Structure 1
Amino acid sequence: MRILKKAEDVFVGTALIAATLVLFVNIVLRYFFDANTTWAEEFIRYAMIWIAFIGSSICFRRGIHVGVDLLINSVSKAGKKVLQVYINIIAVVFMIFLIKFGFDLVIFSMDTGQITPSLEIKMYWIYLAIPVGAILSIVHIITQTINLLRNYQTSLD
């Protein structure tokens, strides 16, 4: 699990740095040298897609996804844990749909042979961010749920 955590963090950090550098270089080229790279905007767009989906799994791992605390704060301590387990189950179901439809999109893109206009890479590499991010999210949600249930059992003893 530690390796997965490190890989996610390194990937997102590297992608953010790369996108920022490409954006900076493109701005300098455009405004100071009246030159422009055709691939920069496309690279940044696709990097941000991967950052968003892998970043989503990082948010699940850290428990920092946006949520509505009003309901959770209005129930007892035991009720919070039960409610959190139900929320995690719903999140896993949603992620399963993302995986299914994400893989459908990847397979469709592979069958049609779509490529990106400027970078000329296979489009399925971009679409692959959806199921990969969802799978990583499920791993973190299940891990959190197991930890929550273990803590729940020890707190009832």
Structure 2
Amino acid sequence: MLRLLDRLEEILISLLIALATLITFVSVAQRYTLSLLADFVTFSRAHQITWFYDVSKATYFFVRSLNLVWSQEVCIIFFVWMAKFGAAYGVRTGIHVGIDVLINKLDPQRRKLFIFIGLAAGAFFTAVIGTLGANFVAHMYHTGSTATDVDVPMWIVYLAVPLGSFLMCFRFLQVAFNFARSGELPHHDHGHVDGMEEEDASAQAIAASPLTPKEH
């Protein structure tokens, strides 16, 4: 069950990043294309190139007819959801920035105590934010308000706050439970690149193969 939750969390974050990037790219490309086509129209009209003027003008109005006014608001919504669930992912994988120089200098018992205090404080804070967010979402549901550029109820937009906060609270409790059982915290190596272990292992296997020519 936890593995399924982890996978859904990763898929959601990846999907939101991909969609936001794609929408932003298309929106920017449209603006630059309109600017370029406007230059083409001006040039062809100044030099009386009729066929080029007609093609440029028709293409300009076609690209302009593609309504992407909603793109900015949708990207903001996607980034809000991505940030909330990304924060929970950060707790699970240990990628949040933390200053633990003093904590690591303590003796094991005191270090363990302070780590539990920090994890408990994180769980309490996110639980409070999740509860307040749930109350706010319930209020927005009864107002019936929708987003400005897209016809999406605002309670769905703000639903990221309680869902992401409660998931983050669960991750804090999960880390605390694992730490109590194993004494280890999740740690992320910022110099690590996924897939490099397989490449290194393949390179070592090839180098150790008797068919590989040796240097003399």
* Both structures adopt the same fold (TM-score exceeding 0.5): yes
1:111-150, CA deviations, whole angstroms, 9 ceiling, x for partnerless residues?
1111001111000111110110111112211111111111
Q: How does 1:4-153 map to 2 (within 5 A)?
A: 4-34=5-35, 35=64, 37-152=68-183
Select between 68-77 and 97-106 the one with higher mean Cα deviation.
68-77
Name the % identity.
27
Q: Aligned pairs, how many?
A: 152
Structure 1 stretches of 5 or more lacking a match? 153-157
**How far 1:24 moved relative to its partner?**
0.1
Q: Which amino acid aligns with 1:17?
A: A
1:33-85, CA deviations, whole angstroms, 9 ceiling, x for partnerless residues?
25461110001000000000000000011122222223322312332222111
TM-score normalised by the chain length of structure 2: 0.67
- Paired with 1:32 and 1:21, the residues of 2 have a C-alpha distance of 16
Q: Which amino acid aligns with 1:62?
A: T
- Paired with 1:141 and 1:96, the residues of 2 have a C-alpha distance of 10
**Higher relative contact order structure (alpha carbons within 8 Å, sequence separation ≥ 6):** 1
